[in-house]
């Protein structure tokens, strides 16, 4: 049974997401980074603004603990 779809709405959503990707790609290029690396930098900067120093320290400690657990389980 075929599903009903709004083709114009789907095309517009695709166009918007594609335009957003092209914008991010250009911003990354201007900074001399690959798109994935640029997004990682942006994510990190946003997290720094959003989290307090205590929250950042807790998250970092948790990440280090998880990495240590992973390293010991692989050994």
Q: What count of Cα atoms within 13 Å lies in the side-chain half-sphere of residue 61?
A: 6
Query: Is residue 73, in this structure, part of any structural domain at all?
Result: yes
68 three-class SS: helix
Question: Which structural domain range is residue 48 located in?
Answer: 29-75
Report the pLDDT value the prediction gives residue 2, as an integer from 0 to 100: 65
In a domain, 35, yes or no: yes
Domain count, the chain: 1
Give pTM, 2 decimals.
0.54
Residue 19 lies in a domain: no
Q: What is the pLDDT of residues 9-44, one digit of tens each?
A: 888 888 899 999 999 999 999 999 999 999 999 998
Question: Could you tell me if residue 54 is inside a domain?
Answer: yes
- Quote the pLDDT of residue 3: 66
Residue 3 lies in a domain: no
Look at residue 6 and tell me if it is in a domain: no
Query: What is the per-residue pLDDT for 1?
Result: 59
- The answer to the question of residue 41 being in a domain is yes
Q: Would residue 16 count as lying in a domain?
A: no
């Amino acid at each position: 049974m075929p599903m009903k779809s709004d083709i114009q709405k789907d095309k517009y959503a695709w166009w918007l997401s594609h335009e957003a990707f092209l914008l991010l790609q250009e911003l990354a290029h201007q900074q001399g980074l690959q798109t994935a690396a640029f997004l990682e930098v942006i994510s990190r900067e946003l997290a720094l603004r959003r989290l307090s120093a205590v929250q950042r320290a807790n998250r970092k400690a948790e990440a280090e603990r998880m990495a240590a657990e992973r390293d010991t389980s692989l050994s």
